A and B are shown apart, each in its own frame.
Chain A
């Protein structure tokens, strides 16, 4: 009798209840709207009929992933100031999308990025290459979502292993997507944004009201050049040995960006030499790391497949721009809050620094509200339940969105166009479901490997890959008429694959250091760490590849396009007009008519 519910031992009923409500509500909404989506067009892009308010909430809901909800707070706690670049650039990346890409892309009108790639270059081959990157970036992005899921379930059910949470959550979301499609997702995503906003802001305000506001909490940390903290009254808990010191934490160029140089310095025996080495390399390399991170995040936002597909659900280009504006406001407000969690966590819950994997700083958002239990009893559990619900909303919405994009690519492109172009709509719908299951399963397996990598860090890498592949493709294709298919393909492949390999190398070398089972799986990559220690600059360039991969991609695009200049599509002027001329001129319809008359498809 006891056995089936053994995993419920030590579970806080409030936390469990709030999380369960979120999951059930999400699934119920998915099923409810699934009944209303019938046609294949509905399934893929929500029938192109979503208002600005709904669409902005939905994009924000989809965008605010486990990285934003849990990862940013965890990383601010573990690394301090340098981690602030993440929320800021996550939000500001949308500006680049708005300035250079959103309007033209919407005017051109296509279902997905592969559609755009094919339409712009009249090349089905290029479409296949573009599809690969939907999957590459998608899988990289699902790993941190899975870590968020594993961490949250390990927190709610103390007896559950990390991989158990990954499997349960992954299976539930996969099933939901397979049955609901994207029409359901728009409604669910919009709801999830407001759930996340509520779940992050309410506990922050309560915690700040009880323990001291943002500025007072920050003032309790001593900055470099100060003799003592400005605020002494705050009852700060003593930091554990693994926590970074105040001066390094609160100031720029802290532990996150100087990690490679510190590791390299540790191998130098002579103390004076070591100090000289640190003085010479630490800050310049740290600045390089910061810039590379900024480039990856700002450019990468514009190249995320699951975000871009949403711009096609705007009725027109002006609506696409207004939507982007609202998205920036919605996510900008959200991103002020997670660092506060990280800061209060540092001051009041430093024990988390000693935890590893799912028990480390990545769970600060979930656990911090329980501090209130000592003073207000049940309130702590309720607020912790709310943040857990928010975490569920975060990884469920992003994972669903990614799953739809990746499944769309697989079902729509690989199956519908390459394997079986004659498939009937019913066959395509069935295939969509099977593809969702397949991709969900792969994502779950990948997710079980990454317990020891920081959520936010992994998302940053997915952004780096996007910034070196899709961003150059979109930016150059929209603004330079001299681009040829060969130039675009070479640049995108070279930049994207280099960034992918570099990011994967740093990850496997980090996983090889794990004392647990993962260390054994990746033991073959251990020597890589010796190499990194000898070459800290190369380590930084591999960990944050954007600073060289983006120029590489753009450079290759220009050079190869110039070499193959005779292959610029013949109707390039018309294509450019469709991309840039106001929609009121009706050029799109004219283009479609001419195109179908000329090319016959």
Chain B
């Protein structure tokens, strides 16, 4: 069904360009995801192994309630803001390198 694609021999259509493109974007995403997951998946572990510490009162809240019910949201905003800044910079860089 597919006919022979027209020949593309510029940088954009080359295998190395696609590889570096995907590798750079994926490593940025994974770095952000790991930061997020360490905290998200670490919290139940702390609850499990250090229940006393997590029940410490902080201005009325227990420590674990304060983290999960309030502080978690700004933490995620910081990660996503960082990601967006870097990923837009990355795209601009890619456009430059493709047009060179």
Could you tell me which A residues sit within 8 Å of B by CB distance? Answer: 81, 84-85, 88, 91-92, 94-96, 98-100, 103, 213-219, 223-226, 230-231, 250-253, 283, 287, 290-291, 294, 298, 318, 321-322, 324-325, 328-329, 332-333, 335-336, 339, 479, 570-571, 573-574, 576-577, 580-582, 584-585, 587, 594, 597-599
Contact = CB atoms under 8 A, between A and B. Distances in A.
B73 A336 contact: yes
A283 B29 CA distance: 33
A358 B70 CA distance: 29
Contacts of A225: 52, 55
Contacts of A94: 80
A250 B65 contact: yes
A276 to B, nearest CB: 20
A253 B47 contact: yes
B5 A287 contact: no
A279 B40 CA distance: 26
Q: Is the interface of B mostly helix, strand, loop or mixed?
A: helix
A585 B98 contact: yes
20 contacts: A81-B68, A88-B69, A88-B72, A92-B72, A214-B60, A216-B60, A218-B65, A251-B64, A252-B47, A252-B54, A252-B64, A287-B44, A322-B84, A329-B77, A333-B73, A336-B70, A577-B13, A577-B21, A581-B98, A582-B95
Contact of A585 (B33, B65, B77, B95): B95
Given A85-B68, A318-B91, A291 B57 contact: no
Nearest to B31: A99
A218 B61 CA distance: 6
Interface in B54-100: 54-55, 57, 59-62, 64-65, 68-70, 72-74, 76-77, 79-81, 83-84, 87-88, 91-92, 94-95, 98
A594 B95 CA distance: 22
**Chain B, interface residues (CB within 8 Å), range:** 35 or more
Contact of B6 (A95, A230, A570, A594): A594
A37 to B, nearest CB: 31
A599 B1 contact: yes
A99 B2 contact: no
Nearest to B15: A573
Contacts of A219: 57, 60-61
Contacts of B13: 573-574, 577
Contacts of A574: 5, 13
A223 B57 contact: yes
A328 B78 CA distance: 11
A81 B84 contact: no
Interface string B6-28: 10000011010010011001100
A325 to B, nearest CB: 5
B12 A291 contact: no
A269 B55 CA distance: 33
Contacts of B98: 581, 585
